[in-house]
Amino acid sequence: MFDIERLRDYSRDCPLIDLFLPDGLDRDSVESLAAICKGRASLETGAHLFLQEDHFNSLYTVRQGALKSYFLDKDGRERVTGFSLPGDLLGLDAVYSGVHRCSAQALAASSLCQVPFTKLEKVADQVPELHRQLVRLMSREIADQQIRAADHTALERVAGFLLDLTRRSQQRGFPVEALKLDMSRSDIANYLRLATETVSRSLSDLQRAGLIKIHLRDIKIVDPERLRISAGSMTTAPEWSADHARYRD
């Protein structure tokens, strides 16, 4: 039988392994994946993992900390495209072109797991399930982008943002009722395409309604069901699998 404790050690050491584990992956395939997930990167607050237009060579998962992804438009304005938290994957934007379309900057002291993409491709050639897993992950990103691009009120956008952070925390085994926002209000506003004042006002409205409690950058989710109602259609795409970590001998 597969050594589950050994698998847990793999996952603790590198979240990328857990992220890429599809249904029914056998022991040899898991160990082949673990063998290439040895790279590490550490960043101080404000440091960059990669910059827009950098050559692509690796995928990363966040072990600790938080990063924001952004690009500079033709007028030199910063456009925030996402926030990466523990367990999240970075670098998929560059798989097609071979060049990073955005920069990734640490919002807090962060550590990451790194896997060279050429090595991942070699393993995936022998383990077709990994190809399908990569497609699912890319499809998930596209689905979330489509949701954000739709027409939503400011309150829906802010509530949906909090629900997305809650979902991601839950997936990684963190408490879902409490969120620590390493990103600034202005970065959140940039990401949601709102004014900073609008984000602050929407958070205050949600707090007055008894849905959340705010203390500096910490947010407690008091009433998740009503928060979901407030988000309207600004909810993330449903999970493609309720439990994608199953194994066979």
- Residue indicated by tokens 């934007």: 93
Determine the 3-state secondary structure of 92 from DSSP.
helix
**Residue 20: per-residue pLDDT:** 62
Per-residue pLDDT reduced to its tens digit, 84-99: 998 888 998 898 899 9
Q: Are 19 and 37 in contact (CB under 8 A)?
A: no
Same domain, 17 and 124: yes
Residues of the chain below pLDDT 70: 1-13, 15-27, 29-30, 139-140, 142-151, 175-176, 234-249
Same domain, 114 and 164: no
Same domain, 84 and 192: no
CATH label of the domain that carries residue 206 = 1.10.10.10
**Residue 246: per-residue pLDDT:** 31
Same domain, 62 and 141: yes
By the 10 Å C-beta count (0-12 exposed, 13-18 middle, 19+ buried), 16 is classed as buried
CA distance 219 to 202: 13
Same domain, 25 and 114: yes
**Residue 147: per-residue pLDDT:** 64
Is residue 36 included in any domain, yes or no? Answer: yes
Phi then psi dihedrals of residue 42, to 5 deg: -125, 140
Q: Are 239 and 158 in contact (CB under 8 A)?
A: no
Cross-sheet strand order for the sheet of 89-90: 39-43, 110-116, 58-64, 89-90
Helix, strand, coil share of the chain (percent; to 5): 45, 20, 35
Alpha-carbon torsion angle 209, 215, 220, 225, nearest 10: 20
CATH label of the domain that carries residue 129 = 2.60.120.10
Phi then psi dihedrals of residue 213, to 5 deg: -125, 135
Residues in contact with 245: Cβ distance below 8 Å, sequence separation at least 6, in sequence order: 18, 21
Instruction: State the residue range of the domain holding 80.
Output: 4-148
Same domain, 186 and 140: no
Q: Which of 116, 84, 248, 112 is nearest to 182 (CA)?
A: 84
- Integer-rounded Cα Rg, in Å, for the chain is 19
Same domain, 86 and 183: no
